[in-house]
Amino acid sequence: MGQDNCKPQPGDLIEIDRPLYQHWALYVGDGYVIHLTDEGASSISLSSSSIRATRAKVKKQLLKDVVKNHKWRVNNKYDRYRTAFPVEEIIQRAEEWIGKEVPYNVLNSNCEHFVTELRYGEGVSRQVEKAAAGGLAAAVGSVVLAGAALVGMALSEGASRR
């Protein structure tokens, strides 16, 4: 059942590589994970903008069905900074959510937030933090380039007046 010697244990966080993002699930044993999916969930689109407020459904599915042909790994990376609940409590907390529809927001209520909340009691998403930092760096870079262009224009304008 594993990929490249991955042998998940109940309570482990599973990171699945998808194009452009990582999907997260919680391994609960016997080949099953609990995760957020948009399958069977209602969603609301805000037509006046590109922002979408959606809902997700909590499902228990076989890991192999969730992963499909994507790469995956056990990734309990937050264990270095947070204390996980006991395994029995993690599984119990996760199973209470099966079949429920929950708010979904890529920035503050996504699949990684969901599983880290179950494991640690706090929702964390490093991929959102990285994306936000990347966006901030791009924005700062654009401001710096725009500022440099304005300075360059002012300097060349000043030189042409001489």
Residues labelled catalytic: 23, 111
Cα angle 93-95-101, degrees, rounded to a multiple of 5: 100
Please count the other Cβ atoms lying within 10 Å of the Cβ belonging to residue 54: 15
Instruction: Yes or no: say if 28 and 60 are a contact pair by the CB < 8 Å rule.
Output: yes
Q: Kindly write down the DSSP assignment for every residue of 62-117, as one continuous string.
A: EHHHHHTTS-EEE--GGGGTSPPPPHHHHHHHHHTTTT-EEEEBTTTBSHHHHHHH
Coil, helix or strand at residue 145: helix
